Amino acid sequence: MSAPTWLEHGSLVLASNNKGKLAEFEKLFQQLDLPVQVIPQGQLQIEDAIEDGLSFVENAIIKARHAARISGKPAMADDSGICVPVLGGAPGIYSARYAGDHGNDQANNEKLLADLIPFRKDGETIEGMFVCVLALVTHADDPLPQIFQGVWKGQILEEIRGANGFGYDPLFWLPELGKSSAELSKEEKNLISHRGQAMQLFRQSLAK
């Protein structure tokens, strides 16, 4: 079995400046034990790309190409968010800036709770799902980006619960565990989360 061509570069740029994502990816890549240096784009003074795609896949590719073009190295990007069917899939790709300011977790959670009030009915749950799309490009103009997708289904709570994680974790309820995502340890979350699922598919691709 030959190694993937991007492994030959010896380094891979992770196209994110989100501290929560970077912390999760650090643990996930440690588990993979790859013979490659994973470099957060911030260490290379690479600013976030303009995410003007209309899907998780488009935005993940945009971010990966942006990091690869500036760094000259292979790059992986994550685009992820929470989708609520009763809201037509919102916040979706706008999850990080749902309330206006990018990355304001408290404001985003408050807006989601407010937007769901008209849909709350006694005894009925509101379904939601976290989505993660990873895009890997060997260079900026790679015509065949590799895509790995994870979907994590749960329910949306009526109030925040738990202090771990980031983003919408405090509102994401896992009935089979009796916990919110924000009540899981990093290790527990990585085993089952949308990002963990996508990384498992990435790992499986290395064995092919």
How is the chain split into domains, by residue range?
5-206
- Can you give the pLDDT at residue 29? 82
Token couple for 99: 């309330």
Lowest mean pLDDT among 20-24, 116-120, 160-164: 20-24
pTM, two decimals, is 0.90
What is the chain's mean pLDDT, rounded?
91
Residue with the two structure tokens 């089952």? 192
pLDDT greater than 80 at residue 6? no
- Can you give the pLDDT at residue 3? 54
- Can you give the pLDDT at residue 101? 85
Continuous H helices in 36-91: 56-71
- Can you give the pLDDT at residue 4? 66
- Can you give the pLDDT at residue 1? 42
- Can you give the pLDDT at residue 20? 80
- Can you give the pLDDT at residue 123? 77
Picking from 176, 153, 172, the residue whose alpha carbon sits closest to that of residue 161 is: 172
- List pLDDT tens digits, range 173-190: 999 999 999 999 988 998
Token couple for 122: 């006694």
pLDDT greater than 60 at residue 93? yes
3-state secondary structure at position 200: helix
- Can you give the pLDDT at residue 208? 63
Q: Which of 33, 48, 79, 142 is catalytic?
A: 79
Is residue 79 part of the annotated active site? The answer reads yes
pLDDT greater than 60 at residue 2? no
CATH class of 5-206: alpha beta
Percentage of the chain modeled with pLDDT above 70: 97
Percentage of the chain modeled with pLDDT above 90: 71
CA atoms within 13 A of residue 45's CA, in its CB half-sphere: 0
Continuous H helices in 145-193: 186-192
pLDDT greater than 90 at residue 119? yes
- Can you give the pLDDT at residue 21? 81
**Separation between Cα atoms, residue 32 and residue 29, nearest integer Å:** 5
Q: Count Cβ atoms within 10 A of the Cβ of residue 92 and give its class: 0-12 exposed, 13-18 middle, 19 or more buried.
A: middle
